[in-house]
Structure 1
């Protein structure tokens, strides 16, 4: 999959390219575990990485969302929940009173105490047999990502509850899901699907000291080599040596995950004339992962 001809023509004509963000998210940003951001630019079929940022608070994340466009961001958290789960729980999943289905679902989640949300999800799981506990979105099944209702290991449901309301409040556009500012485009990303295309199931990151192994360091170097060679989504990444070194030396993998999210955002940005490469129809309460 490569840069489409129309996007290449626009860039060769000298039109300004949108900035590209890749965001590795956390539901509890703090100095020791910040939200990480890769900032780049799509030029002539290549993603040029311009810098890496860390956001230690939600206020800093909200300031990122408010940056003037044009930009396209890939955000590593789920944007929605499985429709069958929402219908079972009788939570909002249809448009009403002039508000779209996604916005209604997001506002409902935002107002719900975390313990109440977890209790509802646990009730769903407890009623189902082993091996089929969780409800899945269509995109999660294809990408191999964690069910968006999962509240442990990893707690992606908390990330959804923390992230999606901020996207809605910022007024960004979420293609196929929610109309907002067309110059600020948010897409769901999932770095794991790109990492597995190079590493299989080999691990490249760990948040624990015991997990900082030479094997994981080697895996990060393999991913960086693949990025620079254009082996991921057919999009070569211009990665300055200093930034590559920082990504290689980060045992948590958060910086590298942000770069992988930026690749997914850039791939989608190159297809902005065809709904950012997304399927023709997306269930708005479920969302879709860019590049899947």
Structure 2
């Protein structure tokens, strides 16, 4: 019997409306003796192209920066299907305008300070509620991405049985970034906010990743030009893809079938890898 190929590691910074100016960014690499070696960065400029990329045969474990589920409290309130696959199918059938109206009505009926419903781990991870439709529009990211993952037949541990050679996990770059540089901002899509302070924060973040200063126990291995790319991308998209890549490396170390996900998490909401 031939040995199973070593999977490629992937980190994906996602955009729900990708363009040439704001593409989906994918970092790929491998785990070698405790170091994550970054091999390439890809930029994908349309959702159709991202769907095609996902569907290619391969062996990979990927961390994807978008929510894999909605808050149970929200789904129950709206009386949507409580099985994950059925819920995603129902959600995919809505337009973005319908999503915005439905979620805004939910928030409007709730007291100030608790407008949004949260998933079980949001406070733990510091992640935005997956029903947010602005700043960042993670509800639209879920709406755009999850049908593509399902169509491509990838495996989502604890949520959906798919091709075990293509493993997709929900990742969150902010979780790892905060561990290393606290609440300092390191990115902005707005030119006016791409400041020297944010540049220094990116440099400090990259240095900390190279030194392995995280509880994940892996170090990032970069060439000089790769380091420059991560630091010079003021949007932070390249760096976010690499942060997701490191979370995928941690998941690979934990191994199948859970890839480090808790033994019991809500199969409607999902879980962020390494949270």
Gaps of 5+ in 2: none
Is contact 1:52–1:243 with CA below 8 Å preserved after alignment?
no
Deviation of 1:275 after TM superposition, in Å, equals 1.1
Residues in 2 aligned to 1:214 and 1:244: alpha-carbon distance in whole angstroms: 17
- Write the mapping of 1:151-162 to structure 2, written as runs, cut at 5 A: 151-162=133-144
Mapped to 1, the partners of 2:209 and 2:26 lie a distance apart of 17
Q: Is residue 264 from structure 1 mapped to residue 247 from structure 2 by the alignment?
A: yes
Is the Cα contact below 8 Å between 1:92 and 1:104 reproduced in 2?
Answer: yes
The SS at the match of 1:192 is: helix
Is 1:129 aligned with 2:111?
yes
CA distance in 2, matches of 1:268, 1:125: 35
- 1:80 equivalent in alignment to 2:69: yes
TM norm structure 1 = 0.91
Give matches, 1:186-225, under 5 Å: 186-225=168-207
Query: Which stretches of structure 1, 4 residues or longer, exceed 4 Å deviation after superposition?
Result: none
CA contact under 8 A between 1:206 and 1:253: conserved in structure 2? Answer: yes
For these two proteins, the number of residue pairs brought into alignment is 272
> CA separation in 2, counterparts of 1:15 and 1:124?
48
Q: Does 1:170 align with 2:152?
A: yes
Alignment correspondent of 2:224: 241
Q: 1:31-70 alignment to 2 at 5 Å? A: 31-70=20-59
Q: 1:177 touches 1:282 (CA, 8 Å); kept in 2?
A: no
Shifted more, 277-286 versus 61-70: the winner is 61-70
Residue 132 of structure 2 is aligned with which of 147, 150, 166? 150
> What is the rounded CA distance, in whole Å, between the counterparts of 1:277 and 1:64 in structure 2?
25
After TM superposition, list the pairs within 5 Å mapping 1:22-33 onto structure 2.
22-33=11-22
- CA displacement at 1:183 relative to structure 2: 0.3
- SS of the counterpart of 1:54? strand
Aligned to 1:112: 94
Query: 1:285 maps to what in 2?
Result: 268
